[in-house]
Amino acid sequence: MDTSRLFSLQGRSALITGGSRGIGRMIAEGFLAQGARVYISARKAEACNQAAQELSAFGPCVSLPADVSTVEGARALVDAYAKHEDTLDILVNNAGAAWGAPYDEFPESGWDKVVDLNLKAPFFLTQALTPMLKKAATDHLAKVIHIASIDGISVNPQETYSYAASKAGLIQLTRRMALRLAQDRIVVSAIAPGAFASDMNRDARDHAEEVKQRIPAGRIGEPEDMAAAAIYLASRAGDYVMGSTLVVDGGVTHAR
């Protein structure tokens, strides 16, 4: 058994949505360190370009700004990526949104925005990229990794109805897609992060000392924690993990 290359991504291409900041950026840096060519996408072009420029210090990183919340936007991203690569080894569906409002006041706009980006986009972007994923799956398996959330597994006190529903749905979608795409040598799995500092999780970012009191591990997640989980699933090491969701939360779902 040769374990020296189990976690290597040398020579592989990866596309990460929402890759300009937060969890997406953590994963991008980890993939680059393991030898992948990384393409990051985000809705805001300036932020995406800046992040790609900074990440290029670790390896080849290209900015592909796009709004994947619509099918048209997803197809535009596929077209932009196809100008650089003929195949795709790893797709990380990370772009996401959240919305909080009291039950009696929760708006349809807050439902549609979150569900479109968190649940619809991963399906249709993967669908559009499946031919390129299949083409990459020659001597190794292609990978699709959905970024879910522990809020799709257990309930927190915040009134984020569409967010919780979308992430629970994404976990089930991961199972369903994994069964279908396995026949094409494409492995689908997911990660459910807990508290990681990001613009979306401002509590972890701005109040880490308070938040960590509720986490059995005694701290919020660090970039290496997220990068390690994604590298595991994206590499040969994670080939036999199909349809499962890896919880990376310091034990907090067991303490709720």
**pLDDT at residue 200 above 70?**
no
pLDDT at residue 118, as a whole number: 98
Return the sign of the alpha-carbon dihedral for residues 7, 97, 18, 219: negative
- Given 39, 81, 103, 163, the catalytic residue: 163
On the CB side of 9, CA atoms within 13 Å amount to 33
Closest CA relative to residue 195, chosen from 172, 228, 225, 234: 225
pLDDT at residue 205, as a whole number: 55
Q: Mean pLDDT throughout 104-123?
A: 97
**pLDDT at residue 204 above 60?**
no
SS3 of 211, please? helix
pLDDT digits (tens, 9 = 90+) for 27-37: 999 999 999 99
pLDDT at residue 198, as a whole number: 67
The length of the chain in residues reads 256
**pLDDT at residue 199 above 90?**
no
Secondary structure of the chain: what % helix, strand, coil (to 5)? Answer: 50, 15, 35
Q: What's the whole-number average pLDDT of the chain?
A: 94
- Could you confirm whether 161 is annotated as catalytic? no
The predicted model scores a pTM of 0.95
pLDDT digits (tens, 9 = 90+) for 219-251: 989 999 999 999 999 999 999 999 999 999 999
- Domains of the chain and any CATH numbers: 13-255 (3.40.50.720)
